[in-house]
Amino acid sequence: MTGLRCDAVDGLRRRWMIARDAVRLNRRARAEWQARPDNAFTTDGYAVVPDLLDRAECERLVALADDLLTESSRVISGNCYTWVKAQAAHGRNTQVREILNVNEVDPGVAALLDERVVQREFEARLGEPVELYGFSIQVDGTDTRTKRGFHVDTLHPPVLKAFIYLTDVHDEADGPYTIIPGSHRHYVRKAINDFINAVSSSGRRDMHHVVADRRQTPVLGPAGTMILSTQDAMHKGGSEHSGRPRYALIAHGTTARHFAGGPLTEGRALVEGP
Ligand SMILES: O=C(O)CCC(=O)C(=O)O
């Protein structure tokens, strides 16, 4: 076979494998969602729990984040590190900085994990055990230029996140978590996006085509509000974030049957070293 024909065959084979994977993962996700109880969380892919933290605790965690965050990624102690997204090559979410595994350095957050406060909220809705990898505190500076658009974190196994606002998020200018309700069940649309992403060599989990974005819902709430979310629903951080920085405590987990153990490692490669 000539080089050109080999490349074409390889390209076709790659696309076929991606399409096959997307179908397989979507099938597994669908089987799991169909077996779960019917409630607002399993229907919409998110649910709001008001007043999870009181204002004094939110202010304490904002001060902790201000104290720990620097302009470049670094290890704080053990598995706790900061991730400054401006340092990543992809150029997205450049105003986002995050402290991963913050439960390892803060007894208040460690207690939230040990007492299974967030896990129980997910379990009550999913009807099965849930485990958390850990907590992060994320600080989103104002940004209307580099925010990542709609995406999913995975097709399957599920990623569950709980976003607990530490500052008030009253309108779009505060950069609310934004979701397309019910889109965790848009299996065909997700598979189409996966395939287009593969063909155009862009990020595999971006969801920019045939999305039901007229239904997008910015989730608002005062400091202390928790948003439970399944990350196989199409979601993004608010793209009209022009007001004040948004601070959030984020719980990262999955269902116990898919749990591989912590700690969180996302962005760790950027860390400069202890
Ligand atoms: O920060 C947000 O509101 C969105 C976060 C997000 O897109 C994600 O965790 O995948």
Task: Please give the number of the atom of ligand 1 that sits closest to the Cα of 176.
Answer: 3
- pLDDT value, residue 89: 82
Pocket test for ligand 1, best of 154, 163, 264 (most atoms within 8 A of CB): 163
Q: Structure tokens of 157?
A: 């196994």
For ligand 1, atom 7, the nearest C-alpha belongs to: 236
C-beta separation of 151 from 234 below 8 A: yes
Residue 262 has what pLDDT? 87
| CB contact at 8 A, 187 and 180 | no
Strand partners, 218: 178
d(Cα 81, Cα 1) in Å, to the nearest integer?
50
C-alpha torsion angle, residues 102, 104, 107, 112 (rounded to 10): 70
Residue 8 alpha carbon to ligand 1 centre in Å? 37
DSSP, collapsed to helix, strand or coil, labels residue 150 as: coil
Atom of ligand 1 lying closest to residue 235 CA: 7
Beta-strand relationship, 46-49 and 130-140:
unpaired
Strands ordered across the beta sheet of 80-84: 46-49, 226-230, 160-165, 246-255, 130-140, 96-100, 80-84, 75-77
65 CA distance to ligand 1 middle (Å): 18
Quote the tokens at residue 217.
Answer: 């819902």
Cα–ligand 1 centroid distance for 250 (angstroms): 9
From 165, 220, 236, 239, the mutation candidate for ligand 1 (largest count of ligand atoms within 8 A of CB) is 236
How many whole angstroms from its chain centre is CA 212? 19
Q: How far apart are CA 207 and CA 192, in angstroms?
A: 9
144 CA → ligand 1 middle, Å: 15
Look-up of token digits 């439970």: 228
Residue having the nearest C-alpha atom to atom 6 of ligand 1: 236
Q: What is the pLDDT of residue 178?
A: 98
Ligand 1: centre distance to CA 62 (Å): 18
Positions in the chain short of pLDDT 50: 273-274
pLDDT score of 274: 44
What residue ranges do the domains of the chain occupy? Answer: 3-270
CA of 102 to the centre of ligand 1 (A): 17
Q: What is the DSSP string of 236-267?
A: EE-S-B-SS-EEEEEEEEEEGGG-------TT
Q: Which residues contact 2 (CB under 8 A, 6 or more apart)?
A: none
How far apart are the C-alpha atoms of 167 and 55, rounded to whole Å? 9
Select from 2.40.50.140, 3.40.462.20, 2.60.120.620, 3.40.50.300 the CATH code of 3-270: 2.60.120.620
Please classify residue 120 by burial: count the beta carbons closer than 10 Å to its beta carbon, then call 0-12 exposed, 13-18 middle and 19+ buried.
exposed
Substitution candidate for ligand 1 out of 235, 246, 264 with most atoms within 8 A of CB: 235
Separation of 218 CA from ligand 1 center, angstroms?
12
Regarding beta strands 96-100 and 217-219, do their DSSP bridges make them parallel or antiparallel, or are they unpaired?
Answer: unpaired
The pLDDT of residue 228? 99
User: Is the beta carbon of 177 within 6 A of some atom in ligand 1?
Assistant: yes
Specify the long-range contacts of residues 195-200, CB closer than 8 Å, at least 24 apart.
195/15, 195/18, 195/19, 195/22, 198/14, 198/15, 198/18, 199/15
